């Protein structure tokens, strides 16, 4: 298996190089040159597998033989040993045909842990094999940063710099990034929003001199390995509801489009998925795009689901590549227009193919809060504001007797004020994080300016040549 860039002007790479590269050198995102496919019989035979065994079964074809089976199995088992739930990603029924897929039993209480714990170990393995070091640049609207810092803290081959929007993450999210005592992780509070942070990271990748000098790597979902790891829980949840003999639908709280793109990949691999429903908060660029066919940037508004306060949805580029028949010329045209005028219009055939797979809906902050209240009253289940955004949209898209699975992307205790305001209950942090809010914080405030960020990273990283 090789990985190709969505923009078609960077060399195709093997798995290990793709993991280290993050963003392709032409600014595109790597994607497998073909989707591994599993027959219905093969999928049926996956029923009952423990989560790590299922992950090994599903993900091995993506490695292209570059990591020995026994090594990969060890990496996977160690990654999921960090989770606090035996099932890793348990499925909880909240109504007759509605389910929450709880993805928040990892070390930082967010779905990001599922992929990040695996990615850190994969990256470590590849760097050790090559005797190399890397500098990791990560952008976060709140959850990726904490998950990345937990997964990479103390790893000798990597220095990590996490860019978060100053004052726009929840206090719990901020502490998860700023209280690590590991000397290889650095939290940078950027004076801007998440899109500014993400643009800075992409600009660092596109500055090839800097990129090469510090051996820059990525752990955002621009890194293929993040998406890859997230495919597994689509299979695990669908299998537990009778797949492949019973189709299911998923509603996914969406920002950067990574999580839902993993669902699309699962479908391409043979999993019978009826609908993939994109759920956004008031930052609804993706909903507008599906409605009108035009992807047009607006301003970012701060909401009670801050991790989804995103306009530039990185992984939508991967979907555009697929929907345009894997045509990098179209993708370059779309991305060029986005850069120049803040908008592009999707071609008719590509739009039809996107609409054939996806639905989309938004929830205002009021609607998300009402859903938290109603779900608690109806089933005793406490949602976080991101999952509540998904639940609101899922309720509008539930169809017939097809089970609807909402991805539970964060634990409510990460957003105690919003949850309390919605329903009067203050969710407590689990015992292992109980001292978090008292720990000393360490972070550097920087302007949203490429040179300032590169100078800072260049001074501190041990990977500089
Ligand atoms: C809690 C939570 N929900 C949903 C999302 C959106 O996921 P994605 O960016 O993969 O669309 C994020 C951040 O990405 C998140 O942290
Ligand atoms: N919501 C994310 C934003 C970054 O997303 P990623 O999946 O591309 O890492 C966050 O919480 O940081």
The per-residue pLDDT for 399 is 79
Q: Over 90: is that where the pLDDT of 434 sits?
A: no
- Once rounded to an integer, what is the mean pLDDT over residues 228-239? 98
> pLDDT (tens digit, 9 = 90+) per residue, 298-311?
899 999 999 999 98
> CA 396, 309, 393: angle at the middle one, nearest 5?
5
Give the residues surrounding ligand 1 with Cβ less than 6 Å away.
110, 143, 221, 253-259, 307-308, 386, 409-410
Instruction: Please tell me the pTM assigned to this model.
Output: 0.97
Instruction: Please tell me the distance between residue 201's alpha carbon and the centre of ligand 2 in angstroms.
Output: 12
* 439 alpha carbon – ligand 2 mean position (Å): 24
Average pLDDT over residues 346-368: 98
CA 272/CA 37 separation, integer angstroms: 12
Q: Summarize the confidence of residues 433-447 as an average pLDDT.
A: 95
Say how many Å lie between the CA of residue 173 and the centre of ligand 1: 13
Is the Cβ atom of 195 under 6 angstroms away from ligand 2? no
b/e for 40-70, b at 16 or more Cβ within 10 A?
Answer: eeebeebeebebbebbbbbbbbbbbebbeee
Q: Which of 74, 112, 267, 451 is catalytic?
A: 112
User: Residues near 247 by Cβ (< 8 Å), separated by ≥ 6?
Assistant: 272, 273, 274, 402
Tell me if 137 sits within 8 A of 186, measured CB to CB.
no
Question: Does residue 409 have its Cβ closer than 6 Å to ligand 2?
Answer: no
Whole-number Å distance, alpha carbon 258 to ligand 2 midpoint, is 8
pLDDT (0 to 100) of residue 131: 97
Residue among 23, 104, 217, 255 whose CB has most ligand 2 atoms within 8 A, to mutate: 255
- The helix-helix angle for 385-397 and 365-379 (nearest 10°) equals 80
Q: Identify the residue whose C-alpha is closest to ligand 2 atom 7.
A: 221
What mean pLDDT do residues 263-275 have? Answer: 98
Domain 91-110+224-423, what fold? Rossmann fold (3.40.50)
Long-range contacts of 416-420 (CB under 8 A, 24+ apart): 416/172, 417/170, 418/170, 418/304, 418/305, 418/369, 418/384, 418/385, 419/372, 419/382, 419/384, 419/385
* Mean pLDDT of the 231-239 span: 98
Task: Report the range of poorest mean pLDDT among 67-76, 81-90, 174-183, 396-405.
Answer: 396-405
pLDDT at 233: 98
Helix (H) or strand (E) run with residue 201 in it: helix 194-206
pLDDT class of 465 with cuts at 50, 70, 90: confident
Helices within 269-347 (DSSP H only): 285-292, 316-323, 328-341
Per-residue pLDDT of 133-186, as tens digits, reads: 999 999 999 999 999 999 999 999 999 999 999 999 999 999 999 999 999 999
Q: Return the axis-axis angle of helices 224-240 and 112-130, rounded to nearest 10°.
A: 130
The residue contributing the CA closest to ligand 1 atom 12 is 307
Q: Give the other-Cβ count within 10 Å of 129's Cβ.
A: 12
pLDDT score, position 26: 97
Q: How far is the CA of 254 from the centre of ligand 1 (A)?
A: 5
At residue 398, the pLDDT reads 86
User: pLDDT per residue over 396-409, tens digit each?
Assistant: 998 789 999 999 99
Q: Assess whether the previous peptide bond of 244 is cis (omega < 30° from 0).
A: yes
Q: How many CB atoms are closer than 10 A to CB 424?
A: 9
Q: How far apart are the first and last CA of the chain?
A: 31
Could you give the CA distance from residue 108 to residue 95 in angstroms, rounded to a whole number? 27
Ligand 1 atom nearest 110 alpha carbon: 1
For strand 404-408 and strand 98-102, is the pairing parallel, antiparallel, or unpaired?
Answer: parallel
pLDDT tens per residue, range 113-132: 999 999 999 999 999 999 99
Tokens standing for residue 365: 């902050």
Given the CA of residue 259, which atom of ligand 1 is nearest to it?
Answer: 10
Q: Is 281 a pocket residue for ligand 2 (Cβ < 6 Å)? A: no
Identify the pLDDT of residue 326. 98
Helix 348-357 vs helix 316-323: angle between axes, to the nearest 10 degrees? 110
Q: Answer whether 241's CB lies under 8 Å from 91's CB.
A: yes
Pocket test of ligand 2: the residue of 148, 193, 220 to mutate, having most ligand atoms within 8 Å of its CB, is 220
Q: Cβ(239)–Cβ(231) under 8 Å?
A: no
Residue to mutate, 143, 177, 264, ligand 1, most ligand atoms under 8 Å from C-beta: 143
Ligand nearest to the CA of 222: 2
- Look at residues 309, 411, 423, 323 and name the one whose alpha carbon lies nearest to residue 368: 423
String of DSSP letters for 72-84 = HHHHHHHHHTT-S
- Residue owning tokens 């759920």: 279
Rounded to a whole number, what is the largest CA-CA distance in the chain? 59
- Which ligand has its closest atom nearest to the C-alpha of 262? 1
Q: Is 112 a catalytic site residue?
A: yes
Q: Ligand 2: which atom is nearest the Cα of residue 219?
A: 9
What distance in Å separates the CA atoms of residue 319 and residue 54, rounded to the nearest whole number?
Answer: 25
The model's pLDDT over 187-226, given as tens digits with 9 standing for 90+, comes to 999 999 999 999 999 999 999 999 999 999 999 999 999 9
Which ligand ends up closest to the CA of 142? 2
SS3 content of the chain, % helix, strand, coil (to 5): 50, 15, 35
Using one digit for the tens of pLDDT, what is the confidence trace for 27-56?
A: 999 999 999 999 999 999 999 999 999 999
The predicted pLDDT at position 21 comes to 95
């Amino acid at each position: 298996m090789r990985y190709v860039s969505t923009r078609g002007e960077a060399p195709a790479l093997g798995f290990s190089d793709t993991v280290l590269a993050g963003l392709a050198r032409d600014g595109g995102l790597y994607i497998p040159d073909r989707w591994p496919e599993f027959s219905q019989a093969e999928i049926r035979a996956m029923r009952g597998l423990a989560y790590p065994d299922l992950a090994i079964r599903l993900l091995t074809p993506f490695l292209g033989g570059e990591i020995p089976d026994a090594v990969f199995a060890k990496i996977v088992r160690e990654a999921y040993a960090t989770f606090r739930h035996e099932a890793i990603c348990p499925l909880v029924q909240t109504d007759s045909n509605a389910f929450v897929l709880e993805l928040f039993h990892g070390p930082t209480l967010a779905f990001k842990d599922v992929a990040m714990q695996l990615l850190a170990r994969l990256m470590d393995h590849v760097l050790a094999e090559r005797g190399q070091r890397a500098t990791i640049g990560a952008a976060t609207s709140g959850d990726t940063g904490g998950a990345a810092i937990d997964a990479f803290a103390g790893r000798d081959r990597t220095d990590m710099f996490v860019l978060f929007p100053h004052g726009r993450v929840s206090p719990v999210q901020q502490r998860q990034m700023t209280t690590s005592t590991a000397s290889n992780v650095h939290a940078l509070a950027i004076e801007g929003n998440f899109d500014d942070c993400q643009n800075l990271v992409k600009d660092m990748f596109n500055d090839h001199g800097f990129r090469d000098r510090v051996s820059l790597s990525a752990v955002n979902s621009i890194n293929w390995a993040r998406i890859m790891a997230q495919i597994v829980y689509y299979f695990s949840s669908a299998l537990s509801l009778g797949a492949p003999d019973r189709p299911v639908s998923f509603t996914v709280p969406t920002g950067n489009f990574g999580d839902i793109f993993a669902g699309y990949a699962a479908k391409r691999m043979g999993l019978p998925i009826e609908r993939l429903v994109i759920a956004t908060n008031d930052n609804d660029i993706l909903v507008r795009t599906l409605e009108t066919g035009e992807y047009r940037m607006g301003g970012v508004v701060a909401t009670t689901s801050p991790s989804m306060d995103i306009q530039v949805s990185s992984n939508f580029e991967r979907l555009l590549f697929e929907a345009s028949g894997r045509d990098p010329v179209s993708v370059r045209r779309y991305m060029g227009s986005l850069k120049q005028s803040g908008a592009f219009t999707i071609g008719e055939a590509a739009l039809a193919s996107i609409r054939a797979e996806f639905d989309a809906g938004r929830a205002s902050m009021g609607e998300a809060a009402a859903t938290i209240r109603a779900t608690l009253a109806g089933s005793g289940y406490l949602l976080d504001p991101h999952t509540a955004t998904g639940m609101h949209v899922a309720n509008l898209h539930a169809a017939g007797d097809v089970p609807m699975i909402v991805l539970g992307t964060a634990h409510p205790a990460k957003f105690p004020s919003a949850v309390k305001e919605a329903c009067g209950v203050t969710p407590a942090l689990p015992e292992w994080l109980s001292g978090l809010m008292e720990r000393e914080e360490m972070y550097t405030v920087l302007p949203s300016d490429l040179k300032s960020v590169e100078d800072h990273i260049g001074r501190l990283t041990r990977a500089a040549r």
